[in-house]
Structure 1
Amino acid sequence: MNQAVLQPVADKTQVIRTVVRTHSQYDDSELLPTALLQEDLGIDSIMLAAIVADLNKIFAPSKQLRPDEFDTLDSLIRKFASLELPQIRPVDLPQEPERHRPQQEGGAAKANETDAALTMRDFVGDSSPDPFAKTERFAAFLHSRQQQGLFWYGMASKGLCSNRAVIHDEYEGRDREFLLFASNNYLGLANEPRVLEAIIRTTRSHGATNTGSRLIGGTTDLHKELEYRLAQLKGREDCIVFPSGYSANLGAISALLGPNDLAITDMYNHMSIQDGCKLSGAQKRIFAHNDMASLEEVLQRSQDRRGGRMIVVDGVFSMHGDIVKLPELVRLAKHYGARVLVDDAHSTGVLGASGSGTTEHFGMKGEADLEVGTMSKALGGQGGFIAGDKRVIDYLRFYANSYVFAATIPAPVAAGLIESISLMQTEPQRLAALWDNIRYLKSRLDALGFNTEHSDSAIIPVVIGNEQRAMELGRSVRRRGMFCQTVVFPGVAVGDARLRISVMSSHTREDLDEAVRILREAAEENGLPLNTAGGAHGHA
């Protein structure tokens, strides 16, 4: 190591606060020691994990500290400041981006707010006395990103979307056909003529919608049949259907947990799980992503507390594509007396011999206490569901507010979903074609040296790291006619930006080869290193 670039670090507290500022984008004056990391500062589990990882690198403790150990800024400072910090450290501490904090003149946002160093994180946790002030500053940021062609979010498609889709390109002012890798229609059921016919037929017999919540006039025979079919698919006693997968997580977690309870969550869980935990009022402990040693530490430390404990995890992690280590997780849950909720949003229709989800994938049907799912992905419809023991489902029908006080999915949608489940079960070639495509595309991208992490599902990430570079890569990809998702904060932590590719059974081998060509050319255009001889590289 070059000693010329070493310097002493005298104030451990300032080092810690610098790392927090780097990730959170707060000014030092805003970081009050008593501030709750999540509730007051809006530092979510992904960001907290990144902060703790950096501090572990800097302080190099004999035993790595974990994100779930901290709930306030003061607890973070006290724990790390109690460690020995070498007198000399390399000048490689996380560098704070030059923050152009909004300087307002006459209510207008200054132009420097559009600087490339800004991220969407800069518009969260605002301390202005006007809660709308952040919206004006964000407007300038959004306008800049759109002018540069970096933000393509929310552009409208026209007609059916399969392996290709016609999308209105707002930058070119015309409709364009894109090679589509941004759809979760994994089995092609959203466009299946038999599904569409079931929806049309039921619209004529049942009307467009149900005009009420399930408990008060909104239940039809088709809702009951759908719940029965989903329970059968999952191998459970009963099932309850919600307006969406998001509301299913909100309803289940907030109904089953309260202030005396503990929610134990993976740091990469979907936002619907995080919001369900907040809404419940339960305390929350985070364990390192898919790290069963970290989970066991949380379970051990919480054994003597009063109240219940529930481990809540994704089956497939939506921005990473990897699968939860369910066998070990369930073993730990049983040993320590905790319940388990698995969110199968990206697992239903994808994992398992019949596509029923994560538990089938591991040969563990019925061993998770609750299985949550969405029907807007592989099943090609709309709505969410929870499957489990009948007594638990009956309880949720009266205590899950997002079920009790919301109108449910229309009967025609339920009819389409019933048909989708039937087709998924009677046409296994759909699932086989999906997995052929997943394995082929991932192997091609890995051979080129793209960082696809540990994906083992229909979601394949291309990890870049830097947000600006990821957006530029996404722009280059779209310019060449491929539409996939560019994921930045809050979808992932600042510094972990990526492209997210969704594979479908309807993609042809030619589609996959074209996607590989486009990604390779876009990477070369943006100076991202590739290894055409094989292997993998880290974050670009």
Structure 2
Amino acid sequence: MSDDQTTLDLSRDETALALTLTVVQHHTGYSPEQLSPEAEFEADLGIDSIVLLEIHSDLMGRCNCAGGSLDGIRSIRDLTRQLLERLGAAPLPELAAQPAPSGAADLVDTLLNAAQDAPTEDVRPVAPQDTRTMRDFADLPSRDLFHKAREFSAFYQAQRTQGYYWYGMPLETPCQNRAVIFDEVAGRPREFLMFASNNYLGLANDPRVLEAIRDAATRYGATNTGCRLIGGSNILHKELETKLSLLKGTEDSIVFPSGYSANLGTISALCSQRDMVFTDAINHMSIQDGCKLSGASRKIYQHSIASLERTLERSADAEGGRLIVTDGVFSMHGDIVDLPRLVELARKYDAKVLVDDAHSTGVLGKTGSGTSEHFGMKGQVDLELGTFSKTLAGVGGFVAARAEVVEYLRFYANSYVFAATIPAHVAAGLIMSIELMMTEPQRLATLWRNIDHLKSRLLRAGFDLGETQSAILPVVIGDDRKTLELGRAVRSRGMFCQTVVFPGVAVGDARLRISVTSEHTLEDLDLAAQILIESAKEVGIEVDD
């Protein structure tokens, strides 16, 4: 290669890097001095897959490089390399023939001007073999803000007509082991085996829970008509918080309007711009949004304790407080956080720990208390958060912690201070649910009998269930289209479970998500296994009988 050619290549690399840095800065608000070519999007910059998708789409769109995968894109340097690969030799000869710009800003302007002169590509029309995924509609570039909505609507309706998307179908009966659902594609009600419910202990339909709700609604009315600090507190809210503290083994607890708002309010109240928050890449979106809202420096570690430790090491000398946030049971994967190691690292690096027990409360531990009890660490976690909408059969969320921390949240968690909380009759039902969970341990025993029964059947058949250790059994397929085909085949045979694609999981990690409850009979479980086996064979997935 000649000296002139080497100079040309360097100029080309600098141009692409300057553009990449500019786009990243535009979407994240980082200043130029905070960005470096080797900065990793998740671990160093706290950029999740949604924001990275926006950056990628913007960058490629400016250079008319449609498409491209996010696989392997971990750093700014990786994204720049992909841009250069997709550009090839074609778009930049005109730029290279001009005098070399003197600085990065000139390089960016030149490349943008060259890109703006090139023709743009239209979005492909929806076709029966449309290979796009839901990720492709998250940030379609257009001056019309609703362009993405129209394109997604056409895509979604086509997928729905073909039987691939069944999201949001309405129940016509209580959600038990079997339920009648109005099939909006077929245009009629159908009875299904229900494996998409998080009613893990069957408490949502218990007559004693329903009676408690009815009695409290008659006594206290439909709702509180105010926030907790101004006229919205009821004696049942106080009783519920006392029972939650006893369940979790903490000094106090606080009830929020939802599990989502509990994460938003708690993380944003405790963390600010001077602090750092460390979050697992596959944590629930309410955690990720809470981290964003806090304004803290967000460090996203890959789904392993080793990755968390590396991320903590890189930030060991930083000022400010540290909060490690994790799911107890990861909602789309079913595996359990290695809490002993995580707490050990937290102590080493002077960090506090928040565990979201949404899918752990009522499932893990001898009494169903959750993740900390499962590991014999009850009372050793700084903040235990959860939702009422799953095992406990209501609506709302909570945080259990030291009394001084709970008191602080009552005045600084905006999603508590400025929102009406759960009605008193919902609190009454939750109080009864906790009492039944504690006094009827056979519910938890039946749940785990059912989990083990179905899990063993599916493993013997050869299904990939990942590393699940909970009531969530993911049938991991990977390919979106194949997963949607499997979901359609399963539902056509009368079984209802979740077909999880982006944004529930990353593209390429699609799966069916099966939720087991104590209400399922052994006959239900055997029939479910047979339906999954038959459906897998129908769509070309190799399994055994």
Judging changes above 3 Å, is the alpha-carbon distance between structure 1 residues 524 and 47 closer, same or farther for their aligned structure 2 residues? farther
Distance 2:128 2:316 in 1: 49
Contact 1:46 1:268 in 2 (8 A): no
Shift of 1:47: 9.5
Provide the residue aligned with 1:334 in structure 2.
Answer: 347
Root-mean-square deviation over aligned CA pairs: 3.1
Does 1:243 pair with 2:257? Answer: yes
Provide the residue aligned with 2:48 in structure 1.
Answer: 44
- Counterpart pick for 2:370 among 357, 363, 374: 357
Distance 1:452 1:121 in 2: 24
Distance 2:346 2:218 in 1: 48
Provide the residue aligned with 2:196 in structure 1.
Answer: 182
- Counterpart pick for 1:278 among 266, 274, 292: 292
Deviation per residue, 1:396-429 (Å, 9 max, x gap): 0011011111110000000000000000000000
- Counterpart pick for 2:415 among 399, 402, 409: 402
Deviation per residue, 1:308-339 (Å, 9 max, x gap): 11100000000000000000000010011011
Does 1:160 pair with 2:174? Answer: yes
- Counterpart pick for 2:392 among 373, 379, 391: 379
The two structures have a TM-score, normalised by structure 1, of 0.82
How do 1:291-310 and structure 2 match up within 5 A?
291-310=304-323
| Count of aligned pairs between the two proteins | 474
Judging changes above 3 Å, is the alpha-carbon distance between structure 1 residues 76 and 296 closer, same or farther for their aligned structure 2 residues? farther
Provide the residue aligned with 1:96 in structure 2.
Answer: none
How do 1:438-457 and structure 2 match up within 5 A?
438-457=451-470
Distance 1:526 1:504 in 2: 27
Deviation per residue, 1:486-536 (Å, 9 max, x gap): 00000000111100000000000000000000000000000011145xxxx
Gapped runs of 5+ residues in structure 1? Answer: 1-10, 19-27, 57-66, 82-100, 105-109, 533-540
Residue 24 of structure 2 aligns to a residue whose secondary structure is coil
Does 1:316 pair with 2:335? Answer: no
- The residue type paired with residue 202 of structure 2 is G
Deviation per residue, 1:25-67 (Å, 9 max, x gap): xxx9996654159748996259979x999549xxxxxxxxxx5
Provide the residue aligned with 1:137 in structure 2.
Answer: 151
Provide the residue aligned with 1:263 in structure 2.
Answer: 277
The two structures have a TM-score, normalised by structure 2, of 0.82
Shift of 1:111: 2.9
Contact 1:243 1:382 in 2 (8 A): yes
Gapped runs of 5+ residues in structure 2? Answer: 1-8, 30-40, 54-67, 85-119
Distance 2:383 2:510 in 1: 31
Deviation per residue, 1:278-301 (Å, 9 max, x gap): 101111112121x22211111111
Distance 1:501 1:450 in 2: 12
Does 1:35 pair with 2:24? Answer: yes
- Counterpart pick for 2:508 among 495, 506, 511: 495
Distance 2:337 2:121 in 1: 41
- The residue type paired with residue 387 of structure 1 is A
User: Which runs of 4 or more aligned residues in structure 1 lie more than 6 Å from their structure 2 counterparts after TM superposition?
Assistant: 11-15, 40-43, 46-49, 78-81
Judging changes above 3 Å, is the alpha-carbon distance between structure 1 residues 333 and 258 closer, same or farther for their aligned structure 2 residues? same
Provide the residue aligned with 1:231 in structure 2.
Answer: 245
- The residue type paired with residue 159 of structure 2 is R
Judging changes above 3 Å, is the alpha-carbon distance between structure 1 residues 148 and 267 closer, same or farther for their aligned structure 2 residues? same
- Counterpart pick for 2:209 among 183, 195, 207: 195
Shift of 1:117: 1.1
How do 1:381-530 and structure 2 match up within 5 A?
381-530=394-543
Residue 279 of structure 2 aligns to a residue whose secondary structure is strand
Larger-Rg structure: 2
